[in-house]
Amino acid sequence: MDQNNVGLVEVFRIYKEYYKHILISTGAIFILSIVYSLIATPLYKSYVSIYPTGNESNFPSSFAGLDGIASTLGFNLSGGEANTFNFPDIVNSRRLKKDIISKEWSSDIYSYPVNLIKYWGIDEPGFLSMLLLSDPSPNEHLENLAIDHLSTLMTVYEHESGMITISVLMEDPKLAADIANYISDWIQKYVSEEMSFKATKNRKFIEQQLQNAKADLYASEEKLSDFMKTHPLSEEGPEEFTERARLMRNIEVNTQVYITLKQQFELNKIEELKERPVLNVLDTGYIATEKSKPLRTLIVLASTFFAFFLSGFIMYCYDGIAIKESK
């Protein structure tokens, strides 16, 4: 008889000889898993699906040199695009989560709106609160605890297509939907404000460059005027002709720079004031009618199978020890 068959025979012998112990322990775990799945707090999921929009740049391609200069100074004249933002990082940011937990929400637990620290009872007297009494900033710790707990209830997934799904788990299905929709609105507002801020910076930068270009144009025109006064065409020689041509080229270049900047300045004023639909909301948060957690059937089955095999292993070890002691 090969070694594998001997092993299987031994396993069957253990389960047959100690079946009462195995059944009792497995049955106990089975009952406990059912009790746990019944008393565990149900969680309801709501999610939103968003798709970032892109805005075309209004910056003329013929004047890309200024864009390079602006970039070295921390400006982006090519205009902001919503799809250049890292939306998963925004969702996972402490700033957003802090706003969520500090906002007062309506729920089925309280008759009046409360923040999530109150909703979860993190601020109630208890062992944890006693530990915080000696801390100089207990409110900050309560906030950190609430943020950590919220982080376990929020997930964000970025699809290959660019669509982003944000899901929220809460004990109250309406609260889960409210928070999911709030996240979508918060992102829309945040990105829009950031793009508006960048547009304002760009406009101010171009405005300064426009003033400089205007001054350069006036200066080049005055130089040509002064030159023409002292060097009339009737007395012009080869050197005077070359100098006059150079001064006229400077005026042409400065004129082109001024015109281009003037156009971009007007475009940026429009960009600064226009509405920015930075997100397409594909799915809004809905009020779930069925809980997402706990998964009672999975909990009971997994616990029962684990208990069955663990009990068999314990009996196998016990049987081995008993055989050694009997020799």
- Predicted pLDDT of residue 54: 61
- Predicted pLDDT of residue 206: 87
Q: CA-based diameter of the chain, in Å?
A: 131
- Predicted pLDDT of residue 59: 45
Q: How far apart are CA 34 and CA 37, in angstroms?
A: 5
The answer, yes or no, to whether the previous bond of 294 is cis (omega within 30 of 0) is: yes
Q: What is the edge-to-edge ordering of all strands in the sheet holding 154-158?
A: 154-158, 164-170, 44-52, 279-283
Q: Could you tell me how far CA 45 lies from the centroid of its own chain?
A: 18
- Concatenating the DSSP letter of every residue in 123-153 gives TSSSHHHHHHTTSS-HHHHHHHHHHHHHHHH
Q: Is the dihedral of CA 52, 53, 56, 59 positive or negative?
A: negative
Q: 155 - beta bridge partners?
A: 167
- Predicted pLDDT of residue 313: 79
Where are the strands (E) in 225-326, listed by range? 279-283
Identify the segments of the chain with pLDDT beneath 50: 1-2, 6, 55-64, 69-70, 72-75, 79-80, 127, 132-134, 136
Condensed to tens digits (0 to 9), the pLDDT of residues 146-158 reads 999 999 999 999 9
Q: How far apart are CA 136 and CA 90, in angstroms?
A: 30
- Predicted pLDDT of residue 73: 41
Percent of the chain with pLDDT over 70: 76
Q: Are 187 and 90 in contact (CB under 8 A)?
A: yes
Residue 143, classified by CB atoms within 10 Å of its CB into exposed (0-12), middle (13-18) or buried (19+), is buried
Residue 222, classified by CB atoms within 10 Å of its CB into exposed (0-12), middle (13-18) or buried (19+), is exposed
- Predicted pLDDT of residue 63: 46
Q: Are 307 and 41 in contact (CB under 8 A)?
A: no
- Predicted pLDDT of residue 127: 45
Q: How far apart are CA 218 and CA 221, in angstroms?
A: 5
- Predicted pLDDT of residue 171: 87
- 319 phi and psi angles, rounded to 5 deg: -65, -40
Domains in the chain and their CATH numbers? 1-40+294-327 (no CATH), 41-293 (3.30.1890)
Task: Provide the residue type at 184 as one letter.
Answer: S
- Predicted pLDDT of residue 244: 85
